[in-house]
Structure 1
Amino acid sequence: MTPAEIAAFETACAEVCDQVPVTQGPDALAQALQRILPRCDLREALVRGGWYRLGGVVTADGRRLADDLEHWVTETLARYDDDLAAMVESEADDSPFATRVLGKTHYWVARVGPEVTEFLQIELEELQEVISHRLFVPDVAPASLEDLIDPRPLPSPPIAVLGQPAYRLRRITLIREFLAAMREQRPEPQPIHRFVADWQRSSAERACDLANHWVFSLREHLDPYRQPIKHAIPVAALHGTAPRFAASDGARGLDLAEAIARFDRQIGYPMAWFFHLLTTKAVPQCVAATVVEDFADGFAYLPDRDLQIVRDWLHRPYVF
């Protein structure tokens, strides 16, 4: 896809998020997304929840005082000459409430070319604002400003829900271009580049599509020279946690070979044990050394191409 096509899809995707209610369910979202990218097979790869952002400030009857909780509290504190205890004591009788925005990230993927990383990753956020806690509690002095605006743990469930959940587009990324930009940051390949290269030369590449089993957690920050620095971490597209690696400590030979084969079958492709050793830590790192030792002793249960990947990793390991 050209940059112009991706930009047009991004605009259309943002409109879909505004138009499709969360209450209609995932099928409605899937149909709407497919209509705006009919040439590609779009599918949801992963949903990650359990995160939140700080919200705003509301009164007891739900009237909104501010959209930015941290800014509102900082301005209020300034009126009390940065005396936290004085602010709490004075404001406690008519205390407003803080809100949080609870979120889930829906990762959608769409292959747009033959290369292993030539796919779009669409990140959609499902957001729900809730009233999380009373800001100023009589006779309860927070230890810090952070304890005031983001105390933990919070009551569960929330005090109240504000409005309906909604979808919002976070970003659309052509993974190939993102990883290429990362290569320009450093002369040496970063772990994510080695991960992709190992996938390409392994039996996994011949058995399935990378985009069927992995998404990428992407982030950027500015270095001290105000230059953007990109990061990418592979995230297994699993429903729940990785299966248990059923090998006892010190397992070798047939026992280890059977544990590896069982783990790969449960995940759905060969060499899954190796890639989960790097990422989910479901497989102990010591397994890699034992596999190579078994082969040195004449017990062969991996193709040569996969054995070479393990040897290379032992020579120069990387993890996420």
Structure 2
Amino acid sequence: MSNRMESPASYLRHYPGLAAAVGACAPVQKHANLLERLRREPALEMAQLATTRGGMWLHRRKVFGADGTLVADDHEAWLAQEVARDGGSVAETCSRLDAGGYRLSQCQITTLYFVAPGLTGEPSDFLQVEVDVEDEILDRELLAGRTWRVPTTLEALQREADQGLQLPEAERVPVRPRNYRLRRVVDVEDWLKVADSLEDVRREAFRERRYKVTSSGTQEGTIQTPDELWPGWDRFAAKHRRFFLDWHRSSASPYRLCEHWVLQLTDWTDPSGRREMDMVPMWAFNRPLAKVNASKGGDYEFYGALQKLDRRIGVPFGWYFYMLHGNRVESDTGERVIRAAEAGTIVMPECDYRVLKDWQTSSYGF
């Protein structure tokens, strides 16, 4: 299910008229017309489609009558109106709606990730354009009171209304033409800078903490700082930044990261006012990729499988980044490569070995 959140404007690029222009494009296979339109914008001249991700849908559903006419654009708002119409009696509303033969739509979403590299060559210097392809179809019956436990509150009715029987395949037809919707254009380096500033605040707050340390033989203790208790705890950057630093330090450096990875970026503020930003890298390789098992074969054979993966995705040391996220390279792969390199059974570039040793010192992943 899609869970969109409003993002602050500091790291978003704004292009007047682009949202309307994207919405006016007719979806076609491979999205060539959309790409051509994006490339007319400043800094998007080199945009390319990196990958797609599906399996999401809008929470909002449209309501249709038994004869196929559109009743409402938002099922939750409509249900609230219907309950109010019945004087607040949810039971009466359920009884009435059950006899109406109402149906709900589902707006299925496939997100297109376009990337446009900058001029510096830095791994994080790119714009990420996210465009949703919306396919809205008749999906299922509206479920009101036809359950073993009739809803007693509006909230329960709204929560359970989309749990009705799915329609037969022949009846799951589009309710409107498929369309594009521009979600946002993110300046990735600017996003990282904002996330860095939040991390700096968190680390400074942690650094100011004091801990009372006592021994088992006495009640007296000493007051110590995090730097005294855990020397080097802040040696490495936060993982959202470290991912890019590791790319820059490794054999992957000559290759554009944005041609091989896109980013799931979130930014939210909890009820207490605490802001959180999170990043999950998603690979852009769009063909089947064999899994590498870290427990099979001798060192030479095992490392050969990793190099084969690198050749297939087109990036040296690419297996390391697949180890950080995904299910193609197991997390214990790094330890085995280090052991094999130090035993002399495999040979790897010194820069990649250094990245691995730092990962061994302070491992991370997504």
Give the TM-score, by structure 2 length: 0.77
User: Identity across aligned pairs (percent)?
Assistant: 23
SS in 2 for 1:310: helix
Q: Give 1:21 shift.
A: 1.1
Indicate the residue corresponding to 1:21 in structure 2: 26
Q: Distance in 2 between matches of 1:22 and 1:73?
A: 33
Q: Give 1:88 shift.
A: 3.1
Correspondence 1:40 to 2:45: yes
Correspondence 1:213 to 2:260: yes
Gaps of at least 5 residues in structure 2 are: 1-9, 151-155, 204-236
Q: Distance in 2 between matches of 1:5 and 1:277?
A: 30
SS in 1 for 2:330: coil
Correspondence 1:284 to 2:290: no
Classify 1:194/1:38 alpha carbon distance in 2 versus 1 (closer, same or farther; 3 Å): closer
Q: Distance in 2 between matches of 1:142 and 1:113?
A: 61
SS in 2 for 1:149: helix
Correspondence 1:121 to 2:168: no
SS in 1 for 2:303: helix
SS in 2 for 1:274: helix
**Equivalent of 2:271 in 211, 224, 227:** 224
Indicate the residue corresponding to 1:50 in structure 2: 55
SS in 1 for 2:62: strand
Structural mapping, 1:4-15, within 5 Å: 6-7=13-14, 10-15=15-20
Classify 1:227/1:194 alpha carbon distance in 2 versus 1 (closer, same or farther; 3 Å): same
Indicate the residue corresponding to 2:209 in structure 1: none
Q: Distance in 1 between matches of 2:199 and 2:143?
A: 48
Classify 1:23/1:275 alpha carbon distance in 2 versus 1 (closer, same or farther; 3 Å): closer
8 Å Cα contact 2:12/2:187 also seen in 1 = no
Classify 1:104/1:142 alpha carbon distance in 2 versus 1 (closer, same or farther; 3 Å): farther
Indicate the residue corresponding to 2:189 in structure 1: 176
Q: Give 1:130 shift.
A: 1.6
Q: Distance in 1 between matches of 2:11 and 2:335?
A: 48
* Amino acid in structure 1 at the alignment position of 2:250: S
Gaps of at least 5 residues in structure 1 are: none
8 Å Cα contact 2:133/2:181 also seen in 1 = yes
Correspondence 1:150 to 2:162: yes
Q: Give 1:49 shift.
A: 1.4
Indicate the residue corresponding to 2:240 in structure 1: 192
Q: Give 1:58 shift.
A: 1.9
Q: Distance in 2 between matches of 1:89 and 1:161?
A: 28
Q: Distance in 2 between matches of 1:38 and 1:186?
A: 29
Q: Distance in 2 between matches of 1:280 and 1:167?
A: 28
CA deviation string 1:233-258 (max 9, x = no partner): 111012155x1234462434211121
Q: Give 1:318 shift.
A: 0.9
Aligned length: 313
Structural mapping, 1:305-320, within 5 Å: 305-320=351-366
Q: Distance in 1 between matches of 2:114 and 2:318?
A: 21
Q: Give 1:303 shift.
A: 0.6
8 Å Cα contact 1:204/1:269 also seen in 2 = yes
Q: CA-atom RMSD, angstroms?
A: 2.8
Q: Flag the structure with higher strand content.
A: 1
* Amino acid in structure 2 at the alignment position of 1:128: D
Correspondence 1:302 to 2:315: no
Moved more, 307-316 or 69-78: 69-78
- Higher radius of gyration, 1 or 2: 2
Give the TM-score, by structure 1 length: 0.87
Indicate the residue corresponding to 1:93 in structure 2: 99
